[in-house]
């Protein structure tokens, strides 16, 4: 995983727009609408806090994600498998694979690198949320060992009121994302 620098904002923005415009069934599953989710402000915030990462294939961007080495308050309402402080958890946000790399196992490779990085940072768990409509993401997370922990009905600019499903990967045991 490669940390994104402030100079890379235009590239990151372009990649997310490309994902939204060229991902099959985007409006059905993830329901991202650039400017509502994700937004320029959201991406700049991840970059400014050094929380935006690229997954590269040589010189090409294959995937992108925001990784925070803490969880936000919106995660407190979930019944997690472990009672952890916010700074003992890493959270994944706006994870995506660029259109030309979709369906090629990149998300699995990204997750292996994310897990290694999060463990290296001493975190005890990785947590994330996905729209209830985003069944492809849910299946991928479950296949990678993430455990469904609950849901909340929340408001998002791109969806209105909708259900978000929360997943967790405890890092207390040895984790292997096999091939």
Rounded to whole angstroms, the Cα distance separating 103 from 131 reads 20
Topology of domain 2-170, CATH: Aminopeptidase (3.40.630)
- Would you state the structure tokens that stand for residue 161, as one six-digit string? 């009121």
Distance in angstroms (rounded) separating the CA atoms of residues 35 and 153: 22
pLDDT averaged over every residue in the chain: 92
Q: What angle do CA 131, 83, 137 make, to 5 degrees?
A: 20
pTM of the model: 0.90
pLDDT digit string, tens, across residues 145-168 = 999 999 999 888 877 798 999 999
Listed by start position, the domains of the chain span 2-170
- The structure tokens listed for 43 are 């991406």
């Amino acid at each position: 995983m490669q940390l994104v620098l402030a100079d890379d904002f235009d590239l990151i923005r372009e990649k997310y727009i490309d994902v939204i415009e060229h991902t099959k069934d985007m409006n059905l599953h993830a329901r991202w609408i650039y400017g509502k989710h994700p937004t320029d402000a959201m991406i700049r915030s991840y970059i400014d806090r050094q929380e935006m990462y690229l997954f590269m294939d040589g010189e090409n961007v294959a995937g992108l994600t925001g990784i925070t080495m803490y969880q936000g308050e919106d995660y407190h309402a979930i019944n997690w498998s472990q009672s952890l402080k916010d700074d003992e958890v890493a959270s994944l946000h706006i994870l995506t694979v660029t259109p030309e790399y979709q369906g090629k196992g990149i998300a699995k490779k990204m997750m292996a690198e994310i897990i290694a990085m999060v463990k290296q940072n001493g975190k005890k768990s990785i947590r994330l949320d996905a729209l209830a409509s985003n069944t492809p993401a849910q299946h991928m997370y479950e296949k990678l060992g993430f455990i469904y922990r609950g849901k909340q009905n929340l408001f998002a600019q791109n969806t209105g009121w909708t259900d978000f499903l929360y997943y967790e990967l405890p890092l207390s045991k040895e984790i292997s994302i096999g091939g």
